[in-house]
Structure 1
Amino acid sequence: MASAVTECGNVRIITQVIQQKAPQVAEGMSELESTSTSSQLASTQPKNFKNTLPKALGVVQIVLGATQISFGIALTVAQEDFKKLTVSSGVYFWIGILLLLSGALLVEMEKRDNALLEKICLLANLLVGVASVVAVILHGTEIGKETLKADRCAGIDEYYCSDSGEVLVYGLNSVFIILSLLELAISLTAVVVTLKSTKEQSYRQMLSR
């Protein structure tokens, strides 16, 4: 940069000449600014999916899975001679195992940003949703079968007759229908969260290019 001073009476004129940058330098500076802008945009995005919602959903699923398996073991032992439909189908065990798997994946997804892990987690939660619907059908069928049975007190003195078994069937299956609906709602929420995480990861990859 060159400068020249010219005086004209009481007026002083300062002239500065700025040299134009070479085209290659200007192009390099433009690319550098573009890269810097992209990096700045990428840095504003969360590096990892730090939302605590996946971890919370995963913990709830693990608790529900452990509950299902525990009740499955207890009912299998209690109904050793005459097993009900839900015990015979093993619904407590396979839905419990799916819940434990899906919950563990959700907890791990909160820690790591991995596309394959998110796809597996999405698939696991879809399976949990389907299993929850099947469980509702099985428990509802068992209640229906108990309702269609003939009066258990027919020909028996009312003093010696007890309907505690029927009440237990109704109550137990009703509780598990509610739990299955809760598991369905949690799995659908987890699917939405996983899809959102996948879209955010794709967006960050586009910015980093």
Structure 2
Amino acid sequence: MATTVTECGNVRIVTQVIQQKDPLAADAIREPMSSPTASQLTSSQPKNFINTLPKALGVVQIVLGATQISFGIALTVAQEDFKKLTVNSGVYFWIGILLLFSGASLVEMEKREYPWLEKLCLFVNLLVSGASVIAIILHGTEIGKETEKEDPCDEMDRYYCSNAGKILLYGLNSVFIILSLLELAVSLTAVVIIVRSTRQKFYRQMVST
């Protein structure tokens, strides 16, 4: 059995040449396969990594998507005569549909590990991230427009005047800004997890070959 040591910077490469009839060959081959490092690389760690956190993120996205669509329907009916910017833009519906689709895709990754499914989840979550940023801008713009309007109670007795509508508008938009920030955080977390999982699978394939 011949051993060659090659040093390249801080890396030391040890090469062993073992004859086929050498009785030690079988033991030498079994040792690296039974080492902790090899067992970790050949284990199903990436699979377990994919099936836990992304599934939970998918459920959260489904709940947020259903919430967006439900409020979108309610606000569209309530503001039938004087629709606001967010209702006219349809932000509640298209971001809700994206969240439902993204959440369902993440949950489906638990059952099927297809490369195209991971790419689809990655693309949809990037869309959700962009949509969340747009939603934050729209809700912030609506709050800004209402702030610029004159206070109707300045021209009449404040005892008989109420700003309940403006307060409700501020409250709703503030809540949806918080929800949009949550959606942005969830989608970006899913993107990071999918990218890391893809890299782990790539490294595992390199080691197995």
TM above 0.5: yes
CA shift at 1:150, angstroms? 1.1
1:149 is matched by which residue type in structure 2? Answer: K
- 1:80-100, CA deviations, whole angstroms, 9 ceiling, x for partnerless residues? 011000000000001101111
8 Å CA contact retained: 1:132, 1:184: yes
8 Å CA contact retained: 2:132, 2:180: yes
2:115 matches 1:119: no
> Which TM-score applies when normalising by structure 2?
0.79
Bigger Cα Rg: 1
CA shift at 1:208, angstroms? 3.0
8 Å CA contact retained: 1:55, 1:106: yes
Counting only pairs closer than 5 Å after superposition, residues 37-56 of structure 1 correspond to structure 2 as: 37=33, 42-46=41-45, 48-50=47-49, 51-56=51-56
Aligned to 1:13: none
CA shift at 1:112, angstroms? 2.3
CA shift at 1:40, angstroms? 5.4
Structure 1: how far apart are the matches of 2:46 and 2:137?
42
The list of structure 1 runs, each at least 4 consecutive aligned residues, that deviate by more than 4 angstroms after superposition, is 23-26, 38-42
Counting only pairs closer than 5 Å after superposition, residues 75-114 of structure 1 correspond to structure 2 as: 75-114=75-114
CA shift at 1:68, angstroms? 0.3
8 Å CA contact retained: 1:41, 1:207: no
1:136 is matched by which residue type in structure 2? Answer: I
Aligned to 2:180: 180
1:163 is matched by which residue type in structure 2? Answer: N
Counting only pairs closer than 5 Å after superposition, residues 1-209 of structure 1 correspond to structure 2 as: 33=29, 37=33, 42-46=41-45, 48-50=47-49, 51-209=51-209
- 1:29-54, CA deviations, whole angstroms, 9 ceiling, x for partnerless residues? 67x938x8398565334372444100
> Which TM-score applies when normalising by structure 1?
0.79
CA shift at 1:156, angstroms? 2.6
CA shift at 1:120, angstroms? 0.7
Please give the secondary structure, in 2, of the residue aligned with 1:111. coil
Aligned to 2:3: none
Mean alpha-carbon deviation: is it higher for 108-117 or for 159-168?
A: 108-117
CA shift at 1:160, angstroms? 2.6
Please give the secondary structure, in 2, of the residue aligned with 1:161. coil
8 Å CA contact retained: 2:46, 2:197: no
Unaligned runs of 5+ residues in structure 1 are: 1-22
Structure 2: how far apart are the matches of 1:138 and 1:168?
17
Structure 2: how far apart are the matches of 1:141 and 1:102?
27
